[in-house]
């Protein structure tokens, strides 16, 4: 007979890590996330990283079919997969339909319900964005995940999340300089020629 989750020593260890994570006081500008049972701390992003994020947010504001609210540092508490504790990620960008008012009154860590798209721009560890973060967003049911990979000069759009498979069914990848079509509720073509 398998041990229940609440008595599983692995779960107690994960919960202790999560409790410590939630009490962290990271230096100004640093970002701490709790990803699949591990604490990950990232330094402040460099200018090219923020430049890409700025281009994306500006185009969404101008071109989206639906008015979108944007946050560049909103903590998301995501559904857990095979781990005992929930993931706590801070995407580089979070878009949600304005009419939902998701950010108003939200705690530091809010559920991803209602989020239309998350955006990541790669930094020092692009494998995390391509792998574990993609799986975390998919199993949480985030409809769209847009990834700009600076090292490979490539943009990817993941859609149609499959929670059971913990991945996205659709995966479109294009080189920087191409346009990528964002589906509803955005319904416009994102230009990537300014990405560096």
pLDDT string in tens for the chain (196-residue length): 344 445 566 676 666 767 776 777 777 888 877 877 777 778 777 788 899 999 999 999 999 999 999 999 899 999 776 655 678 899 999 999 999 999 999 998 999 999 999 999 998 778 889 999 999 999 999 999 999 999 999 999 999 999 999 999 999 999 999 999 999 999 999 999 999 7
**Alpha-carbon gap, residue 71 to 125, rounded angstroms:** 22
**Alpha-carbon gap, residue 98 to 67, rounded angstroms:** 6
**Sheet strands side by side (includes 93-97):** 68-71, 93-97, 117-121, 144-149, 154-162, 167-175
Instruction: Specify the length of the chain in residues.
Output: 196
- Whose tokens are 């079509």? That residue is 181
| N- to C-terminal Cα separation, the chain | 54
Tens of pLDDT along 100-144?
999 999 998 999 999 999 999 998 778 889 999 999 999 999 999
Encoded tokens for 156:
């990817």
**Nearest-CA neighbor of 135 among 108, 107, 159, 168?**
168
């Amino acid at each position: 007979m398998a041990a229940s989750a609440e008595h599983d020593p692995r779960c107690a260890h994960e919960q202790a890590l999560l409790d410590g994570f939630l009490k962290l006081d990271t230096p100004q500008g640093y970002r701490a996330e709790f990803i699949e049972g591990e604490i990950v701390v990232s330094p402040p992003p460099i200018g090219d990283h923020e430049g890409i994020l700025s281009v994306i947010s500006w185009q969404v504001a101008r071109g989206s079919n639906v008015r979108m609210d944007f946050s560049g540092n909103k903590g998301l508490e995501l559904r857990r997969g095979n781990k005992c504790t929930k993931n706590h990620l801070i995407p580089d960008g979070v878009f949600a339909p304005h009419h939902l008012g998701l950010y108003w009154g939200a705690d530091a860590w809010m559920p991803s319900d209602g989020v239309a798209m998350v955006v990541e721009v790669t930094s020092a560890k692009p494998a995390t964005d391509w792998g574990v973060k993609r799986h975390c967003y998919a199993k949480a049911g985030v409809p769209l995940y847009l990834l700009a990979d600076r090292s490979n000069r490539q943009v990817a759009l993941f859609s149609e999340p499959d929670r059971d498979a913990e991945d996205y069914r659709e995966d479109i990848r294009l080189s920087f300089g191409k346009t990528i079509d964002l589906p509803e509720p955005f319904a416009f073509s994102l230009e990537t020629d300014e990405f560096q």
